[in-house]
Structure 1
Amino acid sequence: MTFSGEPIVRIVDASIFQEDTTVLNNINLKIDKGEFVYLVGRTGSGKSSLLKTLYCDLPLHMGSIRIAGFDIENIKRNQIPLLRRKLGIIFQDFQLLPDRNVAENIYFVMRATGWTDKAKMKSRLAEVLMRVGLGSVSSKMPHQLSGGEQQRVVIARALVNEPSLLIADEPTGNLDPEVSEGIFKTFLEINKSGTAILMATHDFKLIENYPKRTLKCEKGFVIDSANPVEKA
């Protein structure tokens, strides 16, 4: 696959911090529009800190990062929601609202990102649920769904604003292998439609079966690995 135009992510001479501790040093890399990239490394190696910096949950104190058209070293607080509308963020622990059904969980994000037309919201809800294979669960509560179904709802929620980049932090970490592969194939379909994906994972079986470009957090650095199945 060939890519053209401005990368969706460009990082230049950036260091990533947790409070006063440097966790990753001197990162220089780019992720192109439509690319699929794994992020691997031992627990505590800085994977989640890097992802949190990309969506401005951690501040960037050193270097520069341009993501989805925003320079986050200079980003203003009121611009962060605008950036996040261009990103889909997927967590290992789902973070669904337990007292709201599937539809309301997705509507909550839609309202928070500026949707107001109820007819358009209903149509988009149906679209994203069908896209992840959950066309008939909109009225169910999160506790009525399996773990795999809950993660598909999270993916649907992340797709609402047609993001140019999905950031996924261990999205299959709490799922059994068969369910994990089904979820991963959903990511592949999303990627085929042109959405770039950056996925942190410990699931080396998936990486072996579906090799892609791999970034490894190791000893305070991010290594663009030529061997996608090498274990940290």
Structure 2
Amino acid sequence: MTESTEPIVRLERADIYQGDRPVLNDVHFEIKNGEFVYLIGRTGSGKSSLMKTLYGDLWLHTGSAKVVGYELHNIKRADIPFLRRRIGIVFQDFQLLSDRSVEDNLSFVLRATGWDQQSKISKRIAEVLMQVGLGTSQKRMPHQLSGGEQQRVVIARAMLNEPRILIADEPTGNLDPEVGDQIMQVFRTINNAGTAILMATHNYEFLKKFPARTIKCENGTVSEG
């Protein structure tokens, strides 16, 4: 199986834990290359724990999972940074460095992941900012940006290392509906260009406006929505 045809995410008989407390049992699902998938469920249903397991923030104790080529049930702690370079992670709270410009926030990530040529760093930053509709915002500070613009920077940051999948945990949760729709359009554009997306959301309007496959966390299980 080539990398392009193998699922980007595959879980089999996986039990998801938050600390020593099981939150999801016997989880099976796959996400294919370029697929857009919603993850829905009530607060406390295990959505965030499932996502954290996929990017190595929580350990997988039982069952198996393979994400962007890494077997999570066998992964070494030293390999987790390499796993995360192939995954873009978008949080609800922006987590931008408030004392640095947009450009410096993005440059910080690239240098931390091994980029060292300034010309390549500048070129990649310009590319991702164009991708999210912020092509002229390199020198602005986070406090000079609206909430929607800050979230666009966060998405740009997640795209820096050309991930095969974006994992987004309630990315529009702090935004008003109109801005949330604009952010969804950014995600759809990225998805149409070939990046898979797994997005947790409480916003059921999105499921109507931007229909896609849905996975639901409920009563300790995961099922197709």
Q: TM-score, normalised by structure 1?
A: 0.95
Q: Find the counterpart in structure 1 of residue 182 from structure 2.
A: 182
SS at match of 1:181: helix
| Superposition deviation, residue 62 in structure 1 | 0.7
Instruction: Kindly provide the CA deviation profile for residues 135-166 of structure 1, in whole angstroms up to 9, marking residues without a partner as x.
Output: 11111111110000000000000111111000
Which sections of structure 1, spanning at least 5 residues, go unmatched? 226-232
Question: How many Å separate the matches in 2 of 1:131 and 1:69?
Answer: 26
Q: How does 1:80-91 map to 2 (within 5 A)?
A: 80-91=80-91
Q: Flag structure 2 segments of 5+ consecutive residues without an equivalent.
A: none
Partner AA of 2:17 in structure 1: F
Matched to 2:183, the amino acid is I
> 2:109 & 2:103 partners in 1: Cα distance?
10
Q: Distance in 2 between matches of 1:116 and 1:73?
A: 32
Give me the whole-angstrom Cα distance separating, in 2, the residues matched to 1:20 and 1:73: 16
Amino acid at match of 1:10: R
Identity %: 62
Q: Deviations over 1:160-184 (max 9, x none)?
A: 1111000000000000011000000
Runs (4+) of structure 1 moved beyond 3 Å? none
Is 1:146 the equivalent of 2:129? no
Specify the SS of the correspondent of 2:56. Answer: coil
After superposition, the CA RMSD in angstroms is 0.7
Rounded Cα–Cα distance in structure 1 between residues aligned with 2:221 and 2:77: 28
- For 1:77 and 1:25, the matched residues in 2 are separated by 24
Paired position in structure 2 for 1:211: 211
The reply to whether residue 20 of structure 1 matches residue 24 of structure 2 is: no
1:84-163 paired onto structure 2 within 5 Å: 84-163=84-163
- Return the offset for 1:203: 0.6
Q: Letter of the aligned partner of 2:212 in structure 1?
A: K
What residue number does 1:192 align with?
192
Q: Secondary structure at the match of 1:130?
A: helix
- TM-score, normalization by structure 2: 0.97
Does 1:32 find its partner at 2:35?
no
Question: One-letter code of the match for 1:152?
Answer: R
Report the alpha carbon displacement of residue 13 of structure 1 after superposing the two structures with TM: 0.2
C-alpha deviation, 1:78, in angstroms: 1.1
Task: Report deviation, 1:65.
Answer: 0.5
Partner of 2:222: 222
In the alignment, the residues of structure 1 paired with residue 27 and residue 127 of structure 2 have an alpha-carbon distance, to the nearest angstrom, of 38
Equivalent-residue separation in structure 2 for 1:67 and 1:5 (angstroms): 13
- Residue type matched to 1:176 in 2? D
